[in-house]
Amino acid sequence: MSAVCLAFANQKGGVGKTTCVINIAAELGKRGKRVLLVDMDPQGNATSGLGIAKKSVKISSYQVLIGEADAKSAIVVTEFKNLSLIPSTISLVGAEFDLHTSEERGRDVIKALAPIKEDYDFILIDCPPTLGMLTINALAAADGVIIPMPCDFFSLEGLSQLNLTIKKVRSLYNPSLDITGLLLTMYNKRLLLTAQVEGELRKYYADKLFNTTISRSVKLAEAPGFGRPIAYFDPYGKGALEYREVVKELLLRV
């Protein structure tokens, strides 16, 4: 059976996107799912967040995308249960130009991942905080999109732009692409703004919103510095429990 491929996307930086993909990947792995996380963000935060030193990376997602290496040769097995990684380095910055001029334009990620899709239950792609060719390629390869977003009005504006990109990718490359879920991050229910933004989202995206929200948490913020997902860094804390609930919901959606 072929892997479910999910892209984690939001062109606004600092929304908790990489934190989400790391922790959802780790929790799926703990539940016995074979998971591959593909780091397609040149910042490489998902790579370091899983304890992989970027200077030790010999083959990255960049070489895979431009056809210099196959995906299997780039895979790093992490210390976490059932969780593997195709790492990223800063060299991925150059991929935007390479993907623009590629003969497979828009389909490079599909081509790169096709040989390994049978090896995993889930392939999760961490997109960069832009709507450039890296993100478009990831969306073209994905079965669905998870959009992490905090409760602020800039996020609402950004969601409209991302929706337009999803529609464009749907028409050009991937007619079955859909939003798998909107995940509210850095959640603080005591703020009036949180209630206002959440209300707007429930009005237009009620069927897409995860019921579980991800609260602001010191432990969640600390975990990447130790190269560990929250399920391993603070397994009984609030952050780990919230991600556990998100994954329960996710498994009912895919």
Measured distance CA(141)–CA(71) in Å, rounded: 14
Tens digits of per-residue pLDDT, 182-227?
Answer: 999 998 888 888 888 888 898 889 999 999 999 999 999 999 999 9
DSSP of 60-96, one letter per residue? -HHHHHTTSS-HHHH-EE-SSTTEEEE---GGGGGHH
pLDDT at residue 195, as a whole number? 85
pLDDT at residue 143, as a whole number? 97
Q: What is the mean pLDDT of residues 81-90?
A: 96
The yes-or-no verdict on residue 108 having pLDDT over 90 is no
Tens digits of per-residue pLDDT, 42-54?
Answer: 999 999 999 999 9
The residues that bridge with 123 in the sheet, in sequence order, are: 5, 36
The yes-or-no verdict on residue 1 having pLDDT over 90 is no
Range of the domain at 112: 4-253
Q: What is the mean pLDDT of residues 15-39?
A: 97
Share the mean pLDDT of the chain: 93
Instruction: Tell me the one-letter amino acid at 141.
Output: A
Measured distance CA(10)–CA(175) in Å, rounded: 20
Model pTM score:
0.95
Tens digits of per-residue pLDDT, 28-41?
Answer: 999 999 999 999 99
Total domain count, the chain: 1
> Can you give the CATH number for the domain in which 210 is found?
3.40.50.300
pLDDT at residue 196, as a whole number? 87
Measured distance CA(201)–CA(154) in Å, rounded: 13
The pLDDT-based confidence of 99 (bands split at 50, 70, 90) is: confident
Measured distance CA(104)–CA(137) in Å, rounded: 10
Q: Are 44 and 71 within 8 A, CB to CB? A: no
Note the helical H segments in the chain: 17-30, 45-49, 61-65, 71-74, 95-101, 108-113, 133-141, 153-172, 192-205, 218-222, 230-233, 238-253
